[in-house]
């Protein structure tokens, strides 16, 4: 597959369209699941690198059950009979949760499903498999030396990175192996791969969705979110995982909507294609009546300085990994181990200073723009580079910092954000992020429903 046109042709219907097709018997759950699994099994495709574990037989069996329920006129559910993938850090009862690593292969199996998995199953999702990821979710690039790296669906012959850490989740959606993938986002791990693969990715307020039964990277920064084709798909999945009603947030009128364009830090080193794609999207919004205002947001420049020694994620990751690192460091991806080891040099006082800085900067941002502000930035300042260009440590770490820089600001500020594709058809994928303060998730999704079709380039 090569280019955006081929990418779109491989996608399954979005959730709302798939539900409508199921309700009028234009398709069946078995047909959707069979199509997804066929793409996952295709030896010419990315399935072997996308999935660490697949559930072919179980998924087809569940599809038969859902088709029987539909035929009997059972009440519809949010995800009834739809194939969904889940990142390899969610517990599934009876399985070892390996988090994209070989280090945990001999760990005890989970005794119960992660709470999010239970909610997805309860809403009718059929899990087709656990998706590949950066080891222990600690990179925005998406490379995995243990299970391979799935190639970005754009310009696949040149083997570009998928973005991480939810690499397999994004490619599973982009290649039509599911209607949506569930990932985690500690510093951009949902939004970065979504943006680089031309998809929608939603990072909710961290506290809204349970992380019980989810392998941790940072207890402070981790959040759980979906990658899918549309804002509506993400809104449905967010409601399911947050335990809310399934109603979609109502789009807001474009006229009178006000968006702030952050101009500090987030445009630095942006490549020409990213910058021009987003500026063109902003022009389309302005022509539709959306008010666009530039804002400095000087506080954003303070965040990388605060995190220069690894930040909250390194401190909290090291606390969890220190025993494993002492006994099995050689089994880690060395690039992941280096990042975790940054936490070894941090004292308790250093960690508390980080938490204090987070609270102070977060208050300053809200004082500057107000709690109701929605601000805009490039999700990632560069298009996806080639995997081969990152084989040495120096370009790898520099690229990783750049891939995560913008998105990680939102986790540090404890906000919510969504990335929307805004690139021209056939060109390299570019994501534009809308960002809101914490617990404004459903309002942000409502605004995103308005913005997404306006910025979609032809």
User: Could you tell me the residue ranges of all domains in the chain?
Assistant: 4-300+356-455, 301-355
Cα distance between residue 14 and residue 339, in whole Å: 37
Q: How far is CA 287 from CA 29, 230, 444, 446, in A?
A: 41, 22, 21, 20
Q: Is 189 a catalytic residue?
A: yes
Residue 10 is predicted with a pLDDT of: 53
Q: At what angle do helices 56-71 and 29-41 cross, to 10 degrees?
A: 160
Q: Please state the φ and ψ torsions of residue 259, each to the nearest 5 degrees.
A: -125, 140
Residue 3 is predicted with a pLDDT of: 42
Catalytic residue, candidates 189, 218, 223, 277: 189
Residue 8 is predicted with a pLDDT of: 41
Q: Is 392 a catalytic residue?
A: no
- The tens digit of pLDDT for each residue in 352-391 reads 999 999 999 999 999 999 999 999 999 999 999 999 999 8
Cα distance between residue 89 and residue 267, in whole Å: 32
Residues 89, 133: contact at Cβ < 8 Å? yes
Residues 419, 200: contact at Cβ < 8 Å? yes
Which residues in the chain show pLDDT less than 70?
A: 1-10
Q: How far is CA 192 from CA 169, 195, 196, in A?
A: 11, 5, 6
Cα distance between residue 137 and residue 221, in whole Å: 12
Please say whether the structural domain 4-300+356-455 has been given the CATH code 3.90.1300.10.
yes
Structure-block tokens of residue 253 = 């009128």
Residue 185 is predicted with a pLDDT of: 98
Residue 245 is predicted with a pLDDT of: 83
Catalytic residue, candidates 165, 172, 184, 223: 165
First and final CA of the chain: distance in angstroms?
Answer: 20
Q: How far is CA 410 from CA 116, 188, 312, 349, 450, in A?
A: 22, 8, 14, 24, 21
Catalytic residue, candidates 87, 223, 277, 433: 87
Q: Is 87 a catalytic residue?
A: yes
């Amino acid at each position: 597959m090569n280019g955006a046109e081929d990418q779109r042709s491989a996608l399954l219907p979005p959730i709302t369209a798939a539900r409508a097709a199921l309700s009028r018997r234009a398709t069946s759950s078995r047909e959707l699941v069979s199509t997804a699994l066929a793409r996952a099994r295709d030896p010419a495709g990315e399935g072997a690198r996308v999935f660490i574990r697949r559930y072919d037989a179980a998924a087809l069996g569940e599809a038969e059950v859902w088709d029987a329920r539909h035929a009997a006129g059972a009440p519809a559910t949010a995800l009834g009979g739809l194939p969904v993938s889940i990142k390899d850090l969610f517990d599934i009862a009876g399985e070892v949760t390996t988090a994209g690593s070989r280090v945990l292969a001999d760990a005890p199996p989970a005794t119960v499903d992660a709470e999010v998995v239970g909610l997805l199953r309860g809403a009718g999702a059929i899990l087709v498999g656990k998706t590949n990821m950066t080891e222990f979710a600690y990179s925005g690039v998406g490379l995995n030396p243990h299970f391979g790296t799935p190639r970005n669906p754009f310009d696949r012959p040149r083997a570009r990175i998928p973005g991480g850490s939810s690499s397999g989740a994004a490619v599973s959606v982009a290649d039509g192996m599911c209607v949506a993938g569930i990932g985690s986002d500690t510093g951009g791990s949902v939004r970065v791969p979504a943006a680089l693969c031309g998809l929608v990715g939603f990072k909710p307020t961290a506290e809204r969705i349970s992380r019980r039964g989810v392998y941790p990277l940072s207890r402070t920064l981790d959040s759980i979110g979906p990658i899918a084709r549309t804002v509506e798909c993400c809104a449905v999945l967010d409601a399911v995982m947050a335990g809310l009603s399934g109603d979609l947030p109502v789009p807001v009128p474009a006229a009178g909507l006000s968006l702030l364009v952050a101009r500090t830090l987030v445009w630095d080193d942006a490549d020409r294609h990213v910058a021009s794609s987003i500026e063109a999207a902003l022009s389309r919004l302005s022509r539709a009546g959306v008010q666009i205002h530039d804002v400095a947001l000087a506080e954003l420049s303070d965040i990388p300085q605060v995190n220069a020694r690894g930040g909250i994620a390194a401190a909290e990751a090291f606390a969890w990994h220190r025993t494993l690192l002492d006994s099995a460091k050689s089994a880690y991806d060395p690039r992941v181990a280096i990042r975790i080891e940054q936490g070894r040099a941090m004292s308790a006082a250093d960690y508390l200073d980080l938490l204090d800085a987070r609270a102070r900067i977060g208050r300053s941002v809200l004082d500057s723009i107000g709690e109701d502000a929605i601000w805009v930035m490039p999700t990632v300042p560069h298009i996806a580079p080639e995997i081969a260009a990152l084989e040495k440590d120096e370009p790898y770490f520099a690229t990783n910092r750049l891939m995560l820089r913008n998105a990680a600001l939102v986790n540090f500020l404890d906000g919510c954000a969504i990335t929307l594709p805004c690139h021209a058809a056939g060109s390299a994928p570019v994501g534009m992020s809308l960002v809101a303060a914490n617990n404004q998730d459903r309002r942000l999704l409502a605004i995103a429903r308005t913005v997404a079709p306006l910025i979609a380039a032809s």
